[in-house]
Amino acid sequence: MKIALLGGTGDIAEGLVLRWSKVGHKIFIGSRSDEKAKGIASEYRDTLSKLGLNSSIEGMINAEAALAAEVVIISLPFEHATSTIRQIQSSFTNQIVISPVVPMVKKGKVFVYSPPSQGSAALEIKEALPNTVKLVSAYHNLPAKELRKIDHVLEYDVVICGDDEEAKAVVKRLTEEMPNLRALDAGSLEASMMIEAITPLLINLNMRYKPQEFSVKFV
């Protein structure tokens, strides 16, 4: 499958790129800077090559990455996500778009959830995308450090939300290609606010109990 990561030079993007490349997906790294995207793509290829793994990872500007892909991950900070999508809106046709975006702010020593007027980052992003795009929210709570360890088995749950059942099935399949992640369908996109809101709590716990990396597992 052809997968683009807008903001593919960031922390969570690295783990997703390496793990999906490992199982044979074609990856496009998107960035505002073509030079930066190509440089990071080369680093990812080198990382996999040292492990004896072939990969297909290309770097390009965000607009080209989105246009080339079947699945697009918005791996951008909340404050840049919607504006970036609007700038490259013509690059979106009928792709599946995945949002792990979380709106939060730091108050004192802790992070708190700070949703936009729509109620969640996912709902704000939906307004910026063409109606032909199928939006799914997922991957909010995966710890980036653990995700980057591509031989490490991840005993976590990934909660997904969306209004298109076929799109959620694709995201479920992509998720469960990464051992031992389990994808759980929480229903419509409106439920995203509940999943996004867990992220600041996990970050606060991770800062307090270093080097522990907390995530989510439902039992």
More confident residue, 11 or 108: 108
Q: pLDDT at residue 83 above 80?
A: yes
Reported as a single tens digit per residue, the pLDDT across 115-173 is: 999 999 999 999 999 999 999 999 999 999 999 999 999 999 999 999 999 999 999 99
pLDDT band at 212 (very low <50, low <70, confident <90, very high): confident
In a domain, 197, yes or no: yes
pLDDT of residue 6: 96
In a domain, 77, yes or no: yes
Tally of domains in the chain: 1
pLDDT of residue 82: 97
In a domain, 48, yes or no: yes
In a domain, 194, yes or no: yes
In a domain, 215, yes or no: no
Q: Which residues of 90-117 are buried (b: 16+ CB within 10 A; e: fewer)?
A: ebbeebbbbbbbbbbeeeeeebebebee
pLDDT of residue 98: 98
Q: Report the predicted TM-score, pTM, of the whole model to 2 decimal places.
A: 0.96
pLDDT band at 186 (very low <50, low <70, confident <90, very high): very high
CA distance 54 to 49: 6
Percent of the chain with pLDDT over 70: 100
More confident residue, 8 or 169: 169
In a domain, 217, yes or no: no
In a domain, 214, yes or no: no
In a domain, 146, yes or no: yes
Decide: 35 and 6 in contact? Cβ < 8 Å.
no
What are the helix (H) ranges across the chain?
A: 11-22, 34-50, 62-68, 78-87, 121-128, 144-148, 165-176, 192-196, 198-208
Identify the CATH number of the domain in which residue 101 sits: 3.40.50.720
Reported as a single tens digit per residue, the pLDDT across 15-29 is: 999 999 999 999 999
Q: pLDDT at residue 217 above 90?
A: yes
